[in-house]
Structure 1
Amino acid sequence: MRSAQHEHESAIKTPKQLIAAVVAGFMVPIVCIVLLVQYVTNGPKTGAGSDSQTPDMIAARIKPVSDDGFTFRDANGPKQLLSGEEVYKTTCAACHSAGVAGAPKVGDAASWQARIAQGYDTLVSHAINGLRAMPAKGGNPDLDDVEIQRTVVYMANQSGAKFKEPEVKAPAAAPAEGAAPAADAAAAK
């Protein structure tokens, strides 16, 4: 018969085996971690500085900031009116292309049907003055009323309406440069 002392035998029988088991207990996880780190960091790297000296990257760094979507306008020059499509793309598309905050999607005739039925003047009034979550002029106060009218026509026509493009009135002609000094001289006599 076996004694109670021999029932629970372990695989470690000598002090040398104990030391080997302890060392393996520490070294196996460390080696696994090192190998995992090597695996994760061994791919191709595109970090800062890897292609910073290529001609394209240098040109991108030194190009003027004004080339990144900024348009400088002469404040004294005549205002260049944008088309309805241009205003839609720059101002309105953020909400009306995705239906944000209940905005009707452009091209979705079902969501525009009731709005188109209210009439052109009502749509223009809502666009200029704002309605519910939509701010006045779509949040761009620099837009002219004619630009808003064009945009309403563009968006509604894309969604099933048959509105006509608004006419733009020409500004009053300024007197010729030579005529003004002559008129002032005649008034002085």
Structure 2
Amino acid sequence: MSSLIKSIHRKLFTLISIAGFSAVMSSSVSAIGQTPDDIAARIAPIGNVCVAGEECEVASAAAVASNDGPRSGEAVYNQFCTACHSVGVAGAPKLGSASDWAPRVANGFDSLMSNAINGLNAMPPRGTCSTCSDDEIQAAIEYMLDNSK
């Protein structure tokens, strides 16, 4: 008889636990205010893979950037370069410091362009602007040089 009672107690405890957990979960979801649509929107993919030769639903960031026309050197600097070049992170030449730029300028502009496009030391390729065209990179370098004399 005691084994039958233990079995009933276990089953009853399990049922009460499941019912209590379900009640807690449903009240939590409604308390947070997340409907199934809210959850679907929250966990939706943030991008799509576009295969060359197939039609894509969303334009790439590079294509969108190119449609807006080239960004000015100042705009590129302010958005992508300032984090390192304003304070000299990891030896980056600082905007406004002619002495920081002098040895780099001595190597020629082509060297500056190559370093900016391919990366150098801690600087990643194209700085932090993967969508910048070569012309925009050049404009950013010219902006930094013009403001570091």
TM-score (norm 1): 0.44
Aligned residue identity for 2:142: V
| 2:80 corresponds to | 91
Percent identity at matched positions? 47
The change in CA–CA distance for 1:79 and 1:119 in structure 2 (over 3 A counts) is same
The CA deviation at 1:76 is 9.9
Deviations 1:32-66 (A, max 9, x none): xxxxxxxxxxxxxxxxxxxxxxxxxxxxxxxxxxx
In structure 1, which of residues 151, 164, 174 is the aligned counterpart of residue 140 of structure 2? 151
| 2:128 corresponds to | 139
In structure 1, C-alpha distance between the alignment counterparts of 2:65 and 2:80, rounded to whole Å: 24
Aligned partner of residue 137 in structure 1, secondary structure = coil
| 1:126 corresponds to | 115
Higher helix share: 2
Which runs of structure 2 are paired with 1:1-189 in the superposition (5 Å)?
75=64, 78-160=67-149
Higher RCO structure (Cα 8 Å, ≥6 apart): 2
Aligned residue identity for 2:75: E
- Structure with the greater alpha carbon radius of gyration: 1
What do you get for the CA RMSD once the two structures are aligned? 2.3
Deviations 1:82-111 (A, max 9, x none): 000000000000000011111111110111
The CA deviation at 1:124 is 0.7
Aligned partner of residue 126 in structure 2, secondary structure = helix
Gaps of 5+ in 1: 1-71, 161-189
| 2:26 corresponds to | none
Aligned residue identity for 2:67: P
Aligned partner of residue 150 in structure 1, secondary structure = helix
In structure 2, C-alpha distance between the alignment counterparts of 1:129 and 1:101, rounded to whole Å: 17
| 1:66 corresponds to | none
In structure 2, C-alpha distance between the alignment counterparts of 1:97 and 1:76, rounded to whole Å: 24
| 1:43 corresponds to | none
Aligned partner of residue 149 in structure 1, secondary structure = helix
